[in-house]
Chains A and B, each alone.
Chain A
Amino acid sequence: MLDLLWLVPALPLAGALALLAGALRFGKRTTTAIGVGSAGLTLAAVAAILVQYAGMHGETVARHVFNWISAGDVTVDFALRLDPLSAVMLSFVTLVGFVIHVYSIGYMHTEGDRAYARFFAYLNLFMFAMLTLVLGANLVVMFIGWEGVGLCSYLLIGFYFDKEYCAAAGIKAFVVNRIGDFGFLLAIFWAFKVFGTVDFAGMATALAADPGRYAAAVTPIALLLFVGAIGKSAQLPLYVWLPDAMAGPTPVSALIHAATMVTAGVYMVVRCNFIYRLSPTAMLVVAAVGGVTAIFAATIGLAQNDIKKVLAYSTVSQLGYMFLAAGAGAFAGGIFHVFTHAFFKACLFLGAGSVIHACSGEQDMRRMGGLAKKIPVTYWTFMVATLALCGIPPFAGFFSKDEILGRVFAAGAGNLNGFGASYLVLWALGLAAAFLTAFYMFRAVYMTFHGEFRGTPEQWHHVHESPGTMTWPLKILAAGSALVGLLGVGTAITFGTDLNWFESFLHRVAPTVEVEHAPALATEWVLILLSVAVALAGILLARRFYSGAEAFAAPQRMAERAPAVYAAVANKYYVDEAYDRAVVRPLGKLARFSWKGIDTIAIDGTLNASAFFTEIAGDLLRFLQTGNVRNYALFVLCGALAAAAWLLL
Chain B
Amino acid sequence: MRADLIALLPELMLATLAMAVLLAGLASGKARHGLLGAGAVLALAATGVTLWLAAGATDPGAHFFSGMFVLDHFAIFFKALFLLTAALVVLLSHDYLKRNDYRPGEYLALVMFATVGMMTMASGVNLAVIYVGLELMALSTYILAGYFRREVKSHEAAAKYFVLGAMSSGILLYGLSLIYGATGTLDLATLARVLASAKPGPSALVGVALLACGFLFKVAAVPFHVWTPDVYEGAPTPITAFMSVGPKAAAFAMFLRVFIGGLAPLAASWIWLVGVAAALTMIWGNVAALTQDNVKRMLAYSSIAHAGYALVGLVAGGPAGVNSVLFYMLVYTVTNIGAFGFVILLESRGYAGETVADYAGLARRHPAAAFGMLLFMLSLGGIPPTAGFMGKLYLFAAAVNAGYVWLVVVAVLMSAVSLYYYLRIVLQMYLREGDGAEPATLVAAPWTERVIWACGVAVLVIGLLPAPFLAAARAMAGAVGLL
Contact = CB atoms under 8 A, between A and B. Distances in A.
| Direct A–B touching, Cβ under 8 Å | yes
Given A71-B474, A635-B226, A170 B400 contact: no
A24 B371 CA distance: 11
B419 A69 contact: no
Contacts of B371: 20
Contacts of A151: 378, 383
**Which has the most chain B C-beta neighbours within 10 Å: A69, A186, A633?**
A69
A170 B471 CA distance: 38
Contact of B206 (A189, A621, A647): A647
B431 A70 contact: no
A47 interface: no
Interface in A618-644: 618-619, 621-622, 625, 627, 629, 631-633, 635-636, 638-640, 642-644
A71 B471 contact: yes
B324 to A, nearest CB: 8
B230 A648 contact: no
A155 B223 CA distance: 37
A123 B226 CA distance: 44
Contacts of B383: 147, 151
Interface string B278-290: 0000001001111
A192 B399 CA distance: 12
B412 interface: yes
A518 to B, nearest CB: 42
B420 interface: yes
A629 B160 contact: yes
B397 A148 contact: no
A643 B212 contact: yes
A640 B202 contact: no
Interface residues of A, number: 64
**Which has the most chain B C-beta neighbours within 10 Å: A114, A621, A627, A646?**
A621
A157 B364 CA distance: 17
A192 B430 contact: no
B455 to A, nearest CB: 17
Given A614-B417, A618-B288, A148 B209 contact: no
A359 to B, nearest CB: 27
Contacts of A23: 367-368
A596 interface: no
Contact of A625 (B163, B229, B400): B229
Contacts of B270: 647
Contacts of B323: 71-72
Given A72-B474, A161-B432, A179 B287 contact: no
B473 interface: yes
A554 to B, nearest CB: 47
Given A170-B431, A633-B163, A644-B210, A185 B412 contact: yes
Contact of A640 (B210, B269, B430): B210
Given A625-B229, A629-B164, A643-B212, A70 B320 contact: no
B290 A643 contact: no
B206 A644 contact: yes
A128 to B, nearest CB: 10
A158 B430 contact: yes
Contacts of B168: 636
A560 interface: no
A469 B444 CA distance: 43
A552 B270 CA distance: 77
Given A114-B364, A158-B431, A636-B164, A174 B470 contact: no
Interface string B183-217: 00000000000000000001001101110110011
Given A186-B412, A614-B417, A621 B396 contact: no
A646 B269 CA distance: 9
B427 A71 contact: no
Contact of B430 (A67, A161, A175): A161
A234 interface: no
B384 interface: yes
B66 interface: no
B419 A178 contact: yes
A632 B291 contact: no
B416 A621 contact: no
B209 A644 contact: yes
A192 B397 contact: yes
B394 interface: yes
B393 A140 contact: yes
| Dominant SS among interface residues on chain A | helix
Nearest to B394: A74
Contacts of A114: 364
A73 B290 contact: no
A206 interface: no
A646 B202 CA distance: 11
Interface string A122-153: 00000000000000000010011001100100
A179 to B, nearest CB: 7
Contacts of A161: 430-433
Contacts of B273: 643, 646-647
Contacts of B229: 625
Given A69-B467, A161-B431, A640 B416 contact: no
A189 B465 contact: no
Contact of A189 (B160, B209, B400): B400
B249 interface: no
Interface string A428-457: 000000000000000000000000000000
B320 A632 contact: no
Interface in B289-329: 289-291, 319-320, 323-324, 327
Nearest to A170: B431
A617 interface: yes
Contact of B466 (A69, A148, A648): A69
A127 to B, nearest CB: 15
Contacts of A181: 416
Contacts of B224: 635-636, 639
A625 B288 contact: yes
Contacts of A170: 427, 431
Interface in B206-240: 206, 208-210, 212-213, 216-217, 223-224, 226-227, 229-230
A193 B320 CA distance: 14
A621 B288 contact: yes
A118 B269 CA distance: 55
Interface in A171-188: 171, 174-175, 178-179, 181-182, 185-186
B394 A69 contact: yes
A162 interface: yes
A52 B419 CA distance: 43
A495 to B, nearest CB: 50
B348 to A, nearest CB: 21
A615 interface: yes
B171 A614 contact: no
Given A69-B467, A193-B400, A614-B417, A647 B393 contact: no
B408 interface: yes
Contacts of A636: 164, 167-168, 171, 213, 217, 223-224, 226
A166 interface: yes
Interface string B412-444: 110011011001000100111100000000000
27 contacts: A66-B465, A69-B466, A74-B397, A74-B398, A114-B364, A155-B430, A161-B430, A167-B431, A167-B432, A174-B423, A175-B420, A179-B416, A189-B405, A618-B290, A619-B291, A621-B288, A625-B230, A629-B163, A633-B163, A636-B223, A639-B216, A640-B171, A642-B223, A643-B212, A644-B209, A647-B205, A648-B206
Given A614-B290, A642-B223, A643-B209, 7 more contacts: A71-B471, A73-B320, A155-B430, A171-B423, A178-B419, A632-B164, A636-B223
Interface of A: 20, 23-24, 66-74, 114, 140, 143-144, 147-148, 151, 155, 158, 161-162, 166-167, 170-171, 174-175, 178-179, 181-182, 185-186, 189-190, 192-193, 611, 614-615, 617-619, 621-622, 625, 627, 629, 631-633, 635-636, 638-640, 642-644, 646-648
Q: Which 9 residue pairs spanning A and B have beta carbons closest together?
A: A618-B291, A161-B431, A71-B470, A72-B320, A639-B223, A632-B226, A621-B288, A644-B209, A144-B384
